[in-house]
Structure 1
Amino acid sequence: MRGFSCGRRMLAVLSAVALLGGCALGSAGQDQAGAPRPVGAVTMVVPFAAGGGSDISGRAMAAGLTSVRPQMRVDVDNREGGQGAVAYSYLLSKAGSPNYLLATETSLLVLPLSVDVAFSYRSFTPIMKLGEDYTLLVALPSSPITSCAQAVDQSRHRRVLAGISGALGPDAVVFSEMERVAGGDFDTVPYEGGGETMAAVLGGQVELASLNPSEVMGQLRAGELKALCVFADQRYTYPQLADIPTSVEQGIPVSFAQFRGMIAPGGLSPEATEHWISAARSFAESPAYTEYVASEFLQPRVAFGQDFAAYLEESEKLVAQVVRR
């Protein structure tokens, strides 16, 4: 994948900048370090720009936590840059503080496997895995490409530009897998989030894009985009998505789920860790969680604390097979 290697070099530079910024914040960032629970307002850090799936997830978690803990205030802070590295480096500087959370997803695993950053998922405290999110391959209705299989075939014979959210995120993984298992050859163009990727495909800057269902549902309903496939083993059961064939059905054996989750800084006290896991469990049992999952078309597969950490460990092994090939 020609764009993948280019994005890799770009991210190495951006990550270095992010790490320098994180170091500068370190001494001033130990807010309430070691405290058993947050004091005052809590910050939900979002690693990508407003409008994408991570932003939607972060805002849903912030609102959901306050719905089950009315005395709590959670502010959302979008810290995009470095394909997520800026936000993770920022959270790294908040070690021990229960006043910070981060809306995480698969870039937490991909970044440390791909570039020289000072963190891995082990640097943080896993709180909750909200669910799993399979992406769609979409194009303008006027595009001659009508399926994932045809996208692979076209990429072998001509230049096909594909927009992705993050140079090394889940979208990059699915295109990399399409090349590995099916012989495609795509030019990927990384953007900072789903909103920018959406604008690029709608504006014709790229021909294809990998986007989450929640990011693209409005455009599908309006006929502004068409879905070529979902990168999954089985079709979605949501009525709005049930007619979209899987990549596997089309002879492209690529299935990859992005997880959505919540982490806290590393070094939390046991009391602070339990505080957030308890709040997360209450959120998972609330109408706010049910509404979020349905509105974002997620698979509601939850995990908390050590179970979330075990999921991350297994997922890291899978991602490493793709990223390090």
Structure 2
Amino acid sequence: MKRSRSAVLATTSVLALTLAACGGESGDSSGGGGGGFEPRGDVTMIVPFGAGGGSDLAGRATATMIEAANGDVGVNVENREGGSGAVGYSAFLGEAGNAETLLATETALLALPISGEVEFDYTDFTPIMKLADDFTLMIVNADSPYQTCTDVVEAAKTERIVAGISGITGLDNIVFTLTEQETGVEFDRVPFESGGELTAALLGGQIDIASLNPGEIIGQLEAGEVKALCAYSEERYSDYEELADIETAKEQGIDVAFAQFRGVLAPGGIDDAAREFWIETMEAAVETDEYQQYIEDNYLQANTAAGDDFVTYLEGNNELLQQVLEG
């Protein structure tokens, strides 16, 4: 019996639980962290993708909310793009034991190892906090003849449809793969290094379709430069007036929904005091106005999980991605 892809993949969202109270020996957490570790200078936040995309937005917003939560911590954002995230994650792997470097993480953390292109997996790092879930929209140029995702699928049965993707491990490639598996069609892929490059290619007519996070494309949507054909989400964006009328793929007969997580990693090999400091800092960060602004500006679902609960989420999400990318 065929199992609903949205039902299978949506199970990850229920894995996020509230982290139990942290150990009592970590010191006063009112400043955003325990007393056993304090950064000696500015912290580096690595973004493993180029400027302008959802990962870049996440990394810069996370830096801002950390600084808001703990006024003693400064965070510098550093883009390390290349290899669909592999360059940035590999550089971060080399920071083992350095608790003054963080990374803005997403689904590539799991998809890259499954692809067999890298020599690490999520267990080589220290999961700190899952910040949110981020769904995508299928986007076309404003003058495209397609009005729904179903139109695109029907066209793909008889003609070449060029899909831009931000690397083979990106959420866009995952939802396009799920769409292919669900409908039996096949898209031609053209890889780009970031959502910003992907948007430019779409506007320039180099590709037919793209799958972009709302936060990446909202400006072009509101300007009428592009149009959204469907949302790869469980439900419509009813809380966001500007997106509320976009049908889900499932409403159009394509049973696909999958969210990219947004989160924060510390390097592997850090001590318990440093791990505790960053967990407490991020727990304070998600209580800030800056976090709420990030969620609202980027049309996210504020599903958080800290420390061990983030690890549990990653375990479950990794199993599901293996089914998709290896199956």
What TM-score does the superposition give when structure 2 sets the normalisation length? 0.88
Conservation of the 8 A alpha-carbon contact between 1:37 and 1:98: no
| Structure 1 match to 2:280 | 278
| 1:189 match: secondary structure | strand
Measured in 1, the distance between the counterparts of 2:293 and 2:94 equals 33
| Structure 2 match to 1:258 | 260
* Unaligned runs of at least 5 residues, structure 2: 1-35
| Structure 2 match to 1:144 | 145
| Structure 1 match to 2:291 | 289
Measured in 2, the distance between the counterparts of 1:181 and 1:167 equals 19
Q: Name the count of aligned residue pairs.
A: 291
Identify the match of residue 306 of structure 1 among 305, 308, 327: 308
What TM-score does the superposition give when structure 1 sets the normalisation length? 0.88
Paired letter, 1:290: Q
| 2:131 match: secondary structure | strand
Conservation of the 8 A alpha-carbon contact between 1:167 and 1:189: no
| Structure 2 match to 1:15 | none
| Structure 2 match to 1:163 | 164
| Structure 2 match to 1:249 | 251
Conservation of the 8 A alpha-carbon contact between 2:107 and 2:169: no
Measured in 2, the distance between the counterparts of 1:115 and 1:143 equals 36
* Unaligned runs of at least 5 residues, structure 1: 1-34
| Deviation (angstroms), 1:116 | 3.5
| 1:240 match: secondary structure | coil
Query: Equivalent residues in 2 for 1:50-199 (5 A)?
Result: 50-199=51-200
Query: Equivalent residues in 2 for 1:1-16 (5 A)?
Result: none
Measured in 2, the distance between the counterparts of 1:46 and 1:116 equals 19
| Structure 2 match to 1:38 | 39
Paired letter, 1:281: E
Instruction: State the Cα deviation string for residues 181-208 of structure 1 (Å, max 9, x = none).
Output: 1112100111101000000000000011
| Deviation (angstroms), 1:175 | 0.7
Query: Equivalent residues in 2 for 1:171-250 (5 A)?
Result: 171-237=172-238, 238-250=240-252
Instruction: State the Cα deviation string for residues 90-131 of structure 1 (Å, max 9, x = none).
Output: 111011111100000001010000123111111100011110
Identity %: 50
Question: Of Structure 1 and Structure 2, which has the larger fraction of its residues in helix?
Answer: 1
Conservation of the 8 A alpha-carbon contact between 1:36 and 1:270: no
Measured in 2, the distance between the counterparts of 1:117 and 1:36 equals 31
Paired letter, 1:287: D
Instruction: State the Cα deviation string for residues 274-299 of structure 1 (Å, max 9, x = none).
Output: 00000000001111111110001000
Moved more, 141-150 or 48-57: 141-150
Measured in 1, the distance between the counterparts of 2:152 and 2:186 equals 10
Paired letter, 2:120: F
Instruction: State the Cα deviation string for residues 223-278 of structure 1 (Å, max 9, x = none).
Output: 00000000012111211111000000000001110010000101110000000000
Distance 1:167 1:116, change over 3 A: closer
